[in-house]
Chain A
Amino acid sequence: MGKTEKGKSSFFQKNSQLLVPLIALMLLVIFNLIRDPGFFSIELVNDNAGNPVLQGNLISILNGASELAILAMGMTLVTAASGGQDISVGCLAAIAGSVFIKVLKSGPITPWLVLGGVAACCLVAMCFGAFNGTLVSVFRVQPMIATLILFTCGRSIAYWINGGATPTVESDIVKAIGGFIPGFPIPAPILIVVLMGIFFALLFRFTTLSMYLQAVGINNNAARLNGINAVGVKLLAFVLLGLCCAVSGVIATGRLQLVNHETLLINIEMDAILAVAIGGNSLGGGKFKMIGSVIGAYIIQALTVTLYAMKVSSTDVKAYKAVVIILLVVLGSPVVKRWFGSMRNKLAVAGSRKEAA
C-alpha cells in the first residue's frame, strides 16, 4: 500500500504539468458517458471496399486529431527552444500537400512514386522550416513575426505549385495513407502519429536534443557558454517542425486524395499552439513534455467531436471551444498553480494542526 502511494505521488510530482490536461480529458470522457453511455462504443464494420475497419466516436477523435497531434509535437520543440510559436504550420502543410500531389501527378502512381512524393514534400517543408528557423535564430526575429511571412504567402505558394485550385489524384496507396490500410482496421493516420511519437522518443533517447532544446530555451547565454550551438538548436527545432508539417500535409491530402490550398488544415496553427499550452508547456519556452502537447491535441479533437455530437452548429463550435480552452489555459497557468499550491499548503497546515489538537 505504502509503496504504491509513493509511486503515485512521485509520478504526479514528476508529471505535475500533465495533471490539468489529464483531468480535463477525464472530465470530457465522463461528460460524454453520462450524456450517451454508448458514446465511446467501437464497432467493427466493413468499409465500401470490403475491408474490416473500426468505427465510432473514439476512433473519430483519435483519427481526426492526427494532423494536430503531429503538428503539436513539432510546435512543442519550437516553443521550447525559441520561446515563441510558428504560425505558418497550416500553410506549410498546404505547401507540403501540394508538393505531394504535384509529384503524384507526374506519372503513374506506384509505391515508389508515393515514397518519392513523401520524400519531396518532407524536403520542401524542412527547407521552409529552415527558412523560418534562420529568421528566428540568426536574425533574432520574433518567431510569430518571422513565421507571419509564410503564414501570409504560404497558401499562394501552395496554389502556384499545382496551378489549379483543387487537384485530385486517384490512388489506393494515397487513400490508404489518409484512411485505412486494407485488412488493418485501425486508421493509418493513428499509426502515423504513433510512428512520429516513436521517432521523437528515439530522437530524445539517442541524442541530446531534449536537453539542448530546454537549455537554450531556459537560458540561451548559459547554453552558449557551455558550448551548445544555440543557433543550430533553434534551427533544428524549426526543421523538425517542418518535417511534422510535411507529414500532416501528407495525411490531410491522403484523407480525400485532394489538396485545396485554401482549406487544407486551415486555422490549425492556433489549435497546435493551444495543444502545446493545454499540455502544460510554457509558451515562453524552456522545459517541455511532448506527451502533454499530444494529450492537448486529443483534448481539442475530443471537444470538437463532442460538440458535433451535441449538434452544436459548427459556427458555434469555435466559441464553445474557446471557452473551454481559456479555462484550461488559465487553470494551467503558473499563477493559478501557485495559488493551488499555497491552498494545498494551507490545508495541510490546517490538517496537521487539527491532528495535533
Chain B
Amino acid sequence: MKKLVILVLAIALMLVASFAIADGIKVGIINNPPSESGYRAANVLDFETVFSAENGYEVLTYYSLRNDEQLSAARQFINDGVDYLLISAAETTGWDAVLQDAQEAGVTVFLFDRMIDCDPSLYAAAVVSDMAVEGETAVNWLLAQNLEVYNVVHIQGAMGSDAQLGRTGALEAQFEAGTMNKVVQQTATWDEAEAKRIVESVINSGADFNVIYAENDGMARGAVAALDEAGITHGVNGKVIVMGFDCNKWALREVLAGNWNYDGQCSPFQAQVIHEMIQTLENGGEIEGLNEKKQIISVERGFDASEITEDDIATYGLGD
C-alpha cells in the first residue's frame, strides 16, 4: 500500500515538475525526515533552497527514516530518469544493487552527510562531516585556553552514534595523556534534562570542575541550568568553561552573550558544494579534491565567544 502511495506521489510529482519546467537538471534527493533533529531540519531546508527551480533544477524528494523505503524511492527515481541522485542513507548497508542500477542507467550519485558501505566507484563524491575533526577542533581550542588545570565534566551523546564517537575521541585522548582530568564522564543520550541531572549530582558531590564538554547544544543548556541554580559562574570570565556542539542559533547567541565559551559546528550545509560539483559536471569538467574514499569533508568551524559575530549566527546558526 505504502509503496503504491509512494509511486502515485512520485508520478504526480514528476508530472507537476515536468510541466512546471521543461528541461531543468533532474535531481532525486533522498534524506531522513526533517523531524529527526534540528540538524536534519536545517539540512533538508538547505537542499530545498539550493536545489530549486530558480537554480534550474527539477527536484524529486523522499524523506524516510527507513532504509527499505529509501531504497524503493531510489529505484523509483532511477526509473523516472533523474540525472543525479543525492542520498543521505538511513543505514550504511544494502545500497550496492541500487547504486549499480543507477550507474547502469547513467545516473550520477552523490552521497551527503552519511557514508554508505560500498565501492567508491559507485558514487561521484560524498560530502560529509568528520566528527573526529569536530572533536579535535574543540579540544584544540580548549588546550589553547591555557588553563592551569583541566577538570572536565564530559556529557556524552547516545553511545555509539557517529557524533558521540567522534566528539568523545579527541577528549578521551587528552584524558589518557593526562593533560586533562576526567571528573565525570556520563551519557545523557542527547537528553537535556538528563544532562542537568548529571551536572547537579556532580555539584552535590562537591567535586571541583572548570570545564563542561557537552556533545550537543541541548545538553550544554541542561548543564548550564544546573550551574545557574547552584550559583556557579560560567562562560567568559566565569569559573566554568562551557562547550557545546551543533551551532543552533540559540546556542550561538549564548556564546555571543558570553554565557558559553565555545560551540562547535556540525555543518548541515552540503547542498552548495554538491550544486557546484553538478555545475562542473554539466559544463564538462571534472570533480577535484577528493580523498581516497571520494569524500569532501565539510569545512566546520568552532565559534569562540571572543570572536563570534551576529553575522556568524545568521550564516551558520540552525533553527531560529
Cβ of A60 and Cβ of B184 under 8 Å apart?
no
B38 and A166 contacting across the interface, CB-CB below 8 Å: yes
Q: Restricting to A302-343, which residues have a CB under 8 Å from any CB of B?
A: 304-305, 308-309, 311, 313-315
Residues of A within 8 A of B159 (CB): 315
For the complex, is A56 an interface residue (Cβ under 8 Å from B)?
yes
Contact mask B30-44 → A, CB, 8 Å, 1/0? 000001111111000
Task: Report B200-213 CB contacts with A as 1/0, cut-off 8 Å.
Answer: 11011100000000
Distance of A309 Cα from B184 Cα, bound (Å): 11
Whole-angstrom CA separation of A304 from B193 in the bound complex: 13
- The minimal Cβ–Cβ distance linking B251 to chain A, given in whole angstroms, is 9
Determine if A252 is an interface residue (Cβ-Cβ < 8 Å): yes
What are the interface flags for B2-25 relative to A under an 8 Å C-beta threshold, 1 for contact and 0 otherwise? Answer: 000000000000000000000000
Alpha-carbon separation in the docked complex, A335 to B112 (Å): 58
Of residues 40 through 68 on chain A, the ones whose CB sits less than 8 Å from some CB of chain B are 45-49, 53, 55-57, 60, 64
In the complex, which of the residues A156, A159, A305 contacts B201, with contact meaning CB atoms closer than 8 Å? A305
CB atoms of B218 and A263 under 8 A apart = yes
A169 CA to B215 CA, complexed, in Å: 21
- Give the CA-CA distance A165 to B218 in the complex, in Å: 11
Checking A156, A168, A305 against B250 with a beta-carbon cut-off of 8 angstroms, the contacting residue is A168
Q: Is B194 an interface residue (CB 8 A)?
A: yes
Query: What is the interface of chain B mostly: helix, strand, loop, or mixed?
Result: helix
Kindly report which residue of chain B lies nearest to residue A159, judged by CB atoms. B35
Smallest CB gap from A36: residue in B: B205
List the B residue with the shortest CB-CB distance to A51. Answer: B231
A53 closest partner in B (C-beta): B229
Q: Is the CB of B231 within 8 A of A179?
A: no
Q: Known interface pairs A263-B190, A305-B201, A309-B205. Does A256 touch B320 (Cβ–Cβ under 8 Å)?
A: no
B233–A256 CB distance below 8 A: no
Within 8 A of A (CB), among B202-253: 203-205, 217-218, 221-222, 225, 227-234, 248, 250
With A263-B190, A263-B193, A314-B187 already in contact, the answer to whether A48 and B319 are too (CB < 8 A) is: no
- The residues of B that contact A165 with a CB separation of less than 8 Å are 35-41, 319
Q: Which chain B residues numbered 169 to 191 have a C-beta less than 8 Å away from chain A? A: 184, 186-191
Taking a contact as CB atoms under 8 Å apart, the answer to whether B191 and A48 are in contact is no
Query: Distance in Å from the Cβ of B179 to the closest Cβ of chain A?
Result: 22
Instruction: Using CB atoms, name the residue of chain B closest to A64.
Output: B197
- Docked complex Cα distance between A46 and B229 (Å): 8
CB pair B228 A309 closer than 8 Å:
no
- A181: CB under 8 A from chain B? no
- Asked if B69 is at the interface of the complex by the 8 Å CB criterion, the answer is no
Asked if B136 CB lies within 8 Å of chain A CBs, one says no
Q: Please indicate the chain A residues that have their CB under 8 angstroms from the CB of B35 in the complex.
A: 156, 159-160, 165, 261
Chain B residues within 8 Å of A163, by CB:
41
B230 touches A55 (CB 8 A): yes
Q: Which residues of B contact A57 (CB under 8 A)?
A: 201, 204
Q: Is the beta-carbon distance between A262 and B190 smaller than 8 angstroms?
A: yes
A contact residues around B192 at 8 Å (CB): 256, 258, 260, 263
Out of A55, A167, A266, name the residue touching B191 (CB < 8 Å).
Answer: A266
* Closest partner residue, chain A, to B184 (CB atom): A311
Say which residue of B193, B198, B229 sits within 8 Å of A179 (CB atoms): B229
Q: Is B196 engaged at the interface, CB distance under 8 Å to the other chain?
A: yes
Give every chain A residue within 8 A of B190 (Cβ-Cβ): 260, 262-263
Task: Name the 7 nearest CB pairs between A and B, nearest first.
Answer: A165-B38, A308-B201, A263-B191, A159-B35, A168-B250, A48-B228, A314-B186
Interface residues of B (CB under 8 A from A): 35-41, 159, 184, 186-194, 196-198, 200-201, 203-205, 217-218, 221-222, 225, 227-234, 248, 250, 319-320
A-B contact sample (8 more), CB < 8 A, given A255-B196, A315-B159: A47-B229, A159-B35, A164-B41, A167-B320, A252-B193, A263-B218, A309-B205, A314-B188
